[in-house]
Amino acid sequence: MTIQRVGIIGAGQMGNGIAHVFALAGYEVLMNDINADALTAAVQRIDKNMDRQVSRDAISADAKDEALRLINTTTTLTDLGQTDLIIEAATERETIKSAIFEDLVPHLKPDTILTSNTSSISITRLAARTDRPEKFMGFHFMNPVPVMQLVELIRGIATDEPTFKACEDVVAHLGKTSTASEDFPAFIVNRILMPMINEAIYTLYEGVGSVKSIDTSLKLGANHPMGPLELADFIGLDTCLAIMNVLHDGLADTKYRPCPLLTKYVEAGWLGRKTKRGFYDYTTEVPTPTR
């Protein structure tokens, strides 16, 4: 399977990061979003992030210019039908993702590979909503995409070997490292990471430690680059809650019960960095704990 043209659905933080790395690797990129302003903002963000790479001599100015030339945008989902590989990076809600694939399927080439950047939703279930479950798999990038080296590749129950190999080759061409995960709730990284974050929130909820003491303890005591509450704010508390719910619902084990404090923060709209308030308040020059 020769992959040259890549369609990306969603122009948010993950979508624009995925477009960034594919364009730098020489792929033609067509990025889709229902919001034209979001597409404009995504291209501006890619431009700014590539400028940062140029300033650090990570890429050349010519490489940046060529990569930006390879990125096109559209608000029409069906325009992606002629691409070789599609990566869906829309909101982490199964109903939305399923609706996107159902709308897209009638317009696809017979050999187009469909993938989802979902961090937790069943690949097998998403694939079953399409006409090509054998050509469907999980393609999970880490955030921020241009910086993080890992890509989780997740087979659904019907994914065939040529599809897996094609995606594995793409990851290698991007200069990243892939790991293979089976299709169980939250896959590998979030199966391990999210319960740790959830336990940190329980530790705060139960008064064992403050935001500052919990994060400092894990940074200095476990040599983590970010504390778990700081990391939760970076990921987005709504995303953390959604993944914990997937784990709790999918595995039916009480150890995955989302902390009530996490639910309360999400209900308040305190979602972390993207809303300027989560476990830290980001409206000040130096983020300050909110508890």
- Summarize the annotated binding site as residue ranges: 10-15, 33, 92, 97, 119, 143, 274
CA distance 22 to 160: 23
The DSSP H or E segment spanning 267 is helix 260-267
Active site residue 140: yes
CA distance 177 to 149: 6
Active site residue 224: no
3-state secondary structure of 90: coil
Q: Which two tokens stand for residue 70?
A: 């390879």
Selected catalytic residue, list 152, 178, 181, 198: 152
Pairing verdict, β 150-155 and 280-281: unpaired
Selected catalytic residue, list 16, 120, 122, 190: 190
CA distance 285 to 161: 50
Q: Which two tokens stand for residue 61?
A: 């100015």
* Contact (CB, 8 A) for 50 and 59: yes
Question: For 111, which DSSP code?
Answer: T
Q: Which two tokens stand for residue 180?
A: 């293979």
Active site residue 72: no
Calculate ∠ Cα 247-253-257, nearest 5°.
Answer: 65
Active site residue 152: yes
Q: Which two tokens stand for residue 226?
A: 């970010």
CA distance 96 to 41: 22
* Contact (CB, 8 A) for 240 and 197: yes
Selected catalytic residue, list 140, 178, 198, 230: 140
Distances (CA, A) of 32 to 7, 29, 130, 140, 168: 7, 10, 19, 18, 24
Residue positions forming the annotated binding site for NAD(+): 10-15, 33, 92, 97, 119, 143, 274
CA-derived radius of gyration, the chain:
19
CA distance 122 to 179: 17
Q: Which residues are catalytic?
A: 119, 140, 152, 190
